[in-house]
Amino acid sequence: MLDVPAIRTGFPALTREVDGRPAAYLDGPGGTQVHRSVIEAMDGFMRRGGSNHHGAFITSQETDQLVEDARAAVADLYGADPHEIVFGQNMTSLTYALSRALGRTWRPGDNIIVTRLDHDANVAPWAQAAADAGVEVRFVDFDPDGGCALDLGTLDASLDNRTRLVAFTHASNAVGTITPVLEIVAAAHSVGALTYVDAVHYAPHGLIDVRQSGTDFLVSSAYKWFGPHTGCLYGRSELLEGIEPYKLRPAPDTAPDRWETGTQSFESIAGVLAAVDYLASLGRGGDRRSRLADAYRRIIEHEQSLSDRFLARLAEMPDVRLAGRRGSDGRTPTFAIEVDGFDPRSLSAALGQLGIFVWSGDYYAFEVMRRLDRAEHGMVRIGFVHYNTADEVDRVLDAIERFAR
């Protein structure tokens, strides 16, 4: 089990107060907090006076080493090799860059597949590249009235030998559904399509394994796993070498550097390295990958106990509706709810007054809310992560109950 009280002491923002009372709950998916070791690593880089990389002097060589170490860390997080890791501003920017580069290889008559369960950052960049290339966009649906599971029947029906890409989420940032990544990658590969997995929401909750899934690309953002605002893309090395990025002429033309446009946020990359090490510190084992695997085993155990507690009491509140799975398995501890008589933004504001910070609206899960018939106001999203306690779950439930009466 995780020692949650001990973990919490490493997160300075968790001691924050609202109106003189502790803000016992800070929204997991929407505002994940940063570990002290991450803050120190970023501070250390800036205090030492780091410079741009690839120079012939010591501060630049230190930055080369930092980038190499951070790539090795993210490679351990993803189960990849360090030369397959690309850093960028965030997931959205990396996806725009890759979609432009892939889009120019597509031809009219081709098609690409996206899903209605995805954050718009894994839909719009692809759809816009498809429009530029005159390529059809097909949607995989999900089951809005049940567990919000992806409908693999619509995937099978959409795939054909002109499918160039299947872009899908590892887990929904709105309703928490975890998708069958191995199955989807295998189906896409059976027709020769590439796969692009959005693991932004999944990464704080479960172990990623790009070798096991065989995906061609996968992306997440370190700010969701207790680090800073930097996107981390995995690409299979032949693809990072073979696909032509949009890049400046003097910039390196070898992968992964050729995909990193402009000067990187090296202080943030220092924080990325520290964030992976923080996650690894939650587990036991020999090398960092083994410690990460053990850490996620413990994280899942703890988060499922929070989900069980949350879902059991929520089910007894007749005025509250939940979208998505009613059990703690096959989902992250992220819940989209609504309470009769409250529009989502007012409920979020009312909870905020009690020091419970949760998002309302669509959190850019644009297609999800449309499919749930909630496009106008969205829903309230409550998300827990590994540093949340059972007491906080109760506090959130007490507050919801107060409004649900």
Tracing tokens 């759809």 back to the chain, one arrives at: 127
Minimum separation from the CB atom of position 178 to ligand PLP (A): 12
- The yes or no reply on residue 111 touching ligand PLP (CB under 6 A) is no
Minimum separation from the CB atom of position 281 to ligand PLP (A): 24
What is the distance between the alpha carbons of residues 141 and 156, in angstroms, rounded to a whole number? 11
Q: Enumerate the β-bridge partners of residue 108.
A: 110
Give the tokens for residue 236.
């299979």
Diameter of the chain measured on Cα atoms? 67
Cβ partners under 8 Å of residue 233, min gap 6: 85, 86, 87, 88, 94, 98, 217, 218, 219, 259
Stretch that binds ligand PLP, among 1-9, 43-51, 114-122, 323-331 (CB under 6 A): 114-122
Binding residues among 239-298 for ligand PLP as defined by CB under 6 A: none
Selected binder of ligand PLP within 198, 267, 277, 362 (CB under 6 A): 198
Half-sphere exposure of 190 (CA within 13 A, CB side): 11
Cβ of 343: how many Cβ atoms within 10 Å?
15
Selected binder of ligand PLP within 38, 75, 91, 311 (CB under 6 A): 91
Selected binder of ligand PLP within 201, 236, 371, 374 (CB under 6 A): 201
Tracing tokens 């120019």 back to the chain, one arrives at: 104
- Residues 242-255, buried b or exposed e (16+ Cβ, 10 A)? ebebebeeeeeeeb
- The yes or no reply on residue 35 touching ligand PLP (CB under 6 A) is no
Whichever of 169 and 177 has its CB closer to ligand PLP, that residue is 169
Selected binder of ligand PLP within 221, 268, 332, 360 (CB under 6 A): 221
The residue count for binding ligand PLP (CB under 6 A) is 13
Segment (H or E) for 69: helix 58-78
What is the distance between the alpha carbons of residues 104 and 9, in angstroms, rounded to a whole number? 49
* DSSP letter assigned to residue 23: -
Decide the pairing of beta strands 231-235 and 217-221: antiparallel
Selected binder of ligand PLP within 32, 33, 63, 90 (CB under 6 A): 90
Selected binder of ligand PLP within 53, 71, 116, 119 (CB under 6 A): 119
- The yes or no reply on residue 213 touching ligand PLP (CB under 6 A) is no
Minimum separation from the CB atom of position 177 to ligand PLP (A): 11
Minimum separation from the CB atom of position 316 to ligand PLP (A): 29
- The yes or no reply on residue 27 touching ligand PLP (CB under 6 A) is no
Whichever of 223 and 342 has its CB closer to ligand PLP, that residue is 223
CB 65 within 8 A of CB 55: no
Half-sphere exposure of 328 (CA within 13 A, CB side): 18
Whichever of 176 and 283 has its CB closer to ligand PLP, that residue is 176
Minimum separation from the CB atom of position 114 to ligand PLP (A): 12
- The yes or no reply on residue 169 touching ligand PLP (CB under 6 A) is yes
List residues binding ligand PLP (CB under 6 A).
90-92, 119, 121-122, 169, 173, 198, 200-201, 221, 231
